[in-house]
Structures are given as structure tokens and as C-alpha cells.
Amino acid sequence: MEIPPLPPLLKSVRLETEGGWGDYVVALVKSMNKNGFKDGVKGALPIVLGYLPVGITFGILARKAGLTSFEVGLMSLLVYAGASQFLAIEMISKGIPNFSIILATFFINLRHILMSSNFSVYLQNVRIPTLGLLSAQMTDESYAVAISKLPWMKNRPHYLLGLQIISQLAWVGGSVVGALFSSLATGTGWGLPFALPALFICLLVLQIKNAHHFWVMVIAGISSVFFKWALTGNWYILLTALFASGMGMMLERVWRKNS
Amino acid sequence: MRESMLVLILGMGLVTFLPRFIPMAFLSRWIFPEKLKVGLNYFPVAILSAIVFPTFFTDGSQVEIQSQYLLAALPVFFFAWRVKSLWGSVLLGMAVYWLLGFIL
């Protein structure tokens, strides 16, 4: 079904009649369905189930770290990167300067270059403003869901739009809800001091995909304790991250030669 | 809104947006430097380890075992490895940490 031309709203008073806004919206929604918007929304449901509780957790912990509810919402909207946001509030509460936080965020999210270049092959006919929205909302999860539809998804931005808009709504909505209701979870009772460490442990374990990752974790674990002992301030985090991933690169060469 | 927080959020927003946007918009195919790819592959593990492990083994700049944190961490490691649930890990960790508070 073709999208009808916009009805002349200012000339037409009878909106309900044929060719009015009602028909236009129906046609628009139908054309979106044809292009997969609705399929995208459906595909987002598992992501929503994952994002909502984590978003709520982020909202609660970010308020505890001193952010306002507005700042929480703005960060989820503009940054939209789970691990980096948790890392940021941990670093904020440690008094680490903005520059280090932004640098760490940059390195963590550089991996998106790979996913984005993978998508680009399939979205060559999509205009730049649309690509801006599509790329800003791309996450590991939306990428994973979308690549399972890749040949079909080719030049169908509506599918990705539906998938990603709903996913980000869940993330932003969850974190704002968590921030607004964070006063319900106050103090140090109920094991709250361990909420963030537990979250980081799980994020860490999810990153361990093979034995190489495991050994980098061991190297980073030992060196981080050493660096924290040896250095003042919080430089140990970035230093460990660069040192241990550098060691990983070196070991990778050794492992490749032996295999 | 505090200025430094605004700067932080905009800065983080920019550095997360560019790696997502530039390849999609300007490259149809890009050969990513293999060495950098390998390094980036290890970066999340490394930085998360740097956040996690000093919590168990240091107090300020002193090396000292934090038994309540360490004991609560062990079941969370196992749970996260088997179940892979963020939400579940947080709840389990909080519960174990809270219960350990009565014993230790």
C-alpha cells in the first residue's frame, strides 16, 4: 500500500472523511508493517525484558552515586551503553576526573566500529539522518537480534527502527523509574553495598568467552591490586586496563604460534 | 544541572556515538587493523577486572583481604558463569553479602 500524500490539514475541516489524517495514519502504520517496523518491535521484546531490570538498577545506583534523576535520564538517552554507564558512576563516586571516564568509555565502545561496519553493507540506500538515529541506538543486543535477520533486513530501516526505539525506551524508561524510586532502597541494609560489585562480577564473567580472556582476567586482577597499592589516586584502573589488554595482545601472538 | 556532569554526559555521548555512526555512514567495508581488534577484544575484561578485584583485596591503598566482599563474590562468580543473568547476580550477591553481615 502506497503512503497517500499528506491531506491539506488547514483546508480540510473534516478529518475523519476519506483522505483525512485518520486514513493517513492507518496507511502509514500499514506501510511500516510492510517494511518490518512491527517485526522490529516484536524482536525487541526479549531485549526489553533484559534492559528494564538492569536500567532500574542503573537508576538506583546512579542516584546513590549522586546523580539527579534528570542526569540519569539524560545519560541513558545520550550515552546508551550499559557497562560504560555503570563504570562511569563507579568512577564518579571514586572522584575520578571526567577525562579518564570519557577515555575509558571510548575504549570500551570502540568495538561498535565492527558492528557498525557490518551493518553499513546492508544499509547503503538509507539516508544519513536516518543512519544517525539507527547508529546512535545500536547496541550489542540489537546487533545480535538484527544480524539473525540480515539478508532480509537489507535496506529495511523500519525493522531496525522498531527494534531499537523500543529497546532504548526500555533502557531510558527503566533507568528513570529506578532513579525516581531509588529512595525506597536507601542506606547500607539489604546487602546494597554489594549491588555494584555483583553487577561488575557478572559483566566480567559475561566477557570471558575463552581461555585467553580468563588469563587476561588473572593478569588484570593481580596487576590491579599491585597498581592500587603502588600508586596514589585512581590511575590503577586505566593503567591496569591498558597493561592487561596489551599483555593479551602479546600472549595472543605466543598462543597463535603454539597452536 | 551541574556543568561538569553535563560535560561528562556529552563527552561520553560523543565517544559512544562516533564509533557507532562513522562506519555505518561512510564505509561500506572497512579493514579493521588486526592488532587493534585483538587489543580491544581484551579491553572490557581488563577494565572490569581492574574494578572488581581491588574490591576484595585492598582497603584504600593497603593490601588487605575483605572477607565479606570476597565470600559474597564467590557464589556470584559461579552463578554468573552458569546462569548469565545480571539481575539474578545482583540479587544473589546482595542476599549473600547481607547474610554474611550477621556471621562475620
Give the pLDDT confidence score for residue B38 in this predicted structure: 79
- Kindly state the average pLDDT of the residues B14-32: 81
Mapped onto helix, strand or coil, the DSSP state of residue A100 is: helix
- Higher local confidence (pLDDT), A37 or A175: A175
**Do the chains contact at B8 and A92, CB–CB below 8 Å?**
yes
Give the pLDDT confidence score for residue A13 in this predicted structure: 36
| Interchain contact B86–A (C-beta under 8 A) | yes
Mapped onto helix, strand or coil, the DSSP state of residue A122 is: coil
Q: Is residue B103 part of a domain?
A: yes
Q: Is residue B57 part of a domain?
A: no
CB-nearest partner of A98 from B4, B17, B49 = B4
Q: Which residues pair with B58 in a beta bridge?
A: B63
Question: Are the C-beta atoms of A91 and A101 separated by less than 8 Å?
Answer: yes
Q: Which domain holds residue B98?
A: 66-104
Q: Is residue B52 part of a domain?
A: no
Chain A positions in Cβ-Cβ contact with residue B35 (cut-off 8 Å): 249
In chain A, whose CA is at the least distance from the CA of B68? A194
**Do the chains contact at B72 and A198, CB–CB below 8 Å?**
yes
ipTM: 0.85
pLDDT in tens, B31-85: 667 777 777 788 888 988 998 999 999 988 888 999 999 999 999 999 999 998 8
| Interchain contact A203–B (C-beta under 8 A) | yes
pLDDT in tens, A152-167: 777 788 899 999 999 9
**Do the chains contact at A112 and B95, CB–CB below 8 Å?**
no
Cα angle A164, A137, A165; round to 5: 30
Give the pLDDT confidence score for residue A193 in this predicted structure: 80
pLDDT band for A27, please (50, 70, 90 cuts): low
Please give the tally of structural domains in chain B: 1
Report the distance separating Cα A32 and Cα A165, nearest Å.
14
Chain A positions in Cβ-Cβ contact with residue B23 (cut-off 8 Å): 113, 116-117, 119-120
